[in-house]
Amino acid sequence: MAAPIVDAHGVNLKLQSGTSALHILKDVDLTLGASEVAAIVGPSGSGKTSLLMLLGGLERPTSGTITIAGETISGLDEDRLAIFRRNNLGILFQNFHLIPSLTALENVTLTLEIADPGARWQTLRDKAAAALADVGLGTRLDHLPNALSGGEQQRVGLARAMVAEPRLLLADEPTGNLDQETGARVIELMFSLARKRGTAILLITHDPALAAEADRTLRMNEGRLTESALA
């Protein structure tokens, strides 16, 4: 069997909040193969985003090991982690994290340029424009984030997360602000990335239609992750 894209073992996250210690993630194990799409469902505050942050190397576990595309990221220093992220990961955050002073096109082009600094700007721009057209934003390329609706900003975030064809796509509620038709289109785009490029996808969703299309559904409950039979 090919090496998994995600291999997480015994992952715990404990945070100190004032005087109380919070046990946010409890002995989480997760394996995800190439082209595999897994949806995480579960109540608000159960630890879903926290797990995504750990898998994206944006937060470190209190204990446990996380291996992504063969690299044990818990062992990397900040510089190596940043390089690893830009070469292997696409991340769509819950609040998009677009750069406010850059247009939609510049936000997406910048990601490509960081991953491939030697490439021609025009080539990267064309690729970024195509990714934005794919998410239905071909006529919004020159808009700054604050001149875009919430759902449009979310789609810029998704174009940015997918444009470099990452090994692993982590998406926090990718259809959360979208109408049904637009949501269905971005779901199809994500799944085609998995099929064509072997990208493994882990997405958090409250949308039953999206969860139903994933290969697996995982349930987060009070920091514990279990395989759900409802997939």
Q: Which residues bind ligand ATP (CB under 6 A)?
A: 15, 17, 22, 24, 42, 44-50
Of residues 206-225, those binding Mg ion (CB under 5 A): none
C-beta of 172: minimal distance to ligand ATP in Å?
7
Measure the CA–CA gap between 159 and 208, rounded to whole angstroms: 23
46 forms part of the interface with Mg ion (CB under 5 A): no
Residue with smaller CB distance to ligand ATP, 49 or 199: 49
**Residue 22 contact partner, candidates ligand ATP, Mg ion, none, CB within 5 to 8 A by sort of partner:** ligand ATP
Measure the CA–CA gap between 121 and 30, rounded to whole angstroms: 38
Residue with smaller CB distance to ligand ATP, 26 or 125: 26
The region of 23-31, 48-56, 145-153, 212-220 touching Mg ion under the rule CB under 5 A is 48-56
SS3 of the chain: the string is: CCCCCEEEEEEEEEEEECCEEEEEEEEEEEEECCCCEEEEECCCCCCHHHHHHHHCCCCCCCEEEEEECCEEHHHCCHHHHHHHHHHHEEEECCCCCCCCCCCHHHHHHHHHHHHCCCCCHHHHHHHHHHHHHHCCCCCCCCCCHHHCCHHHHHHHHHHHHHCCCCCEEEEECCCCCCCHHHHHHHHHHHHHHHHHHCCEEEEECCCHHHHHHCCEEEEEECCEEEECCCC
49 forms part of the interface with Mg ion (CB under 5 A): yes
**Residue 122 contact partner, candidates ligand ATP, Mg ion, none, CB within 5 to 8 A by sort of partner:** none
Residue nearest to Mg ion (CB): 49
Residue with smaller CB distance to ligand ATP, 17 or 139: 17
Measure the CA–CA gap between 18 and 20, rounded to whole angstroms: 6
C-beta of 123: minimal distance to ligand ATP in Å?
37
Residue with smaller CB distance to ligand ATP, 93 or 111: 93
Measure the CA–CA gap between 157 and 167, rounded to whole angstroms: 17
Residue with smaller CB distance to ligand ATP, 15 or 99: 15
C-beta of 31: minimal distance to ligand ATP in Å?
20
Residue with smaller CB distance to ligand ATP, 24 or 162: 24
C-beta of 158: minimal distance to ligand ATP in Å?
17
Tokens of 62: 């209190």
C-beta of 173: minimal distance to ligand ATP in Å?
7
154 forms part of the interface with Mg ion (CB under 5 A): no
Question: Where along the sequence are the contacts to Mg ion (CB under 5 A)?
Answer: 49
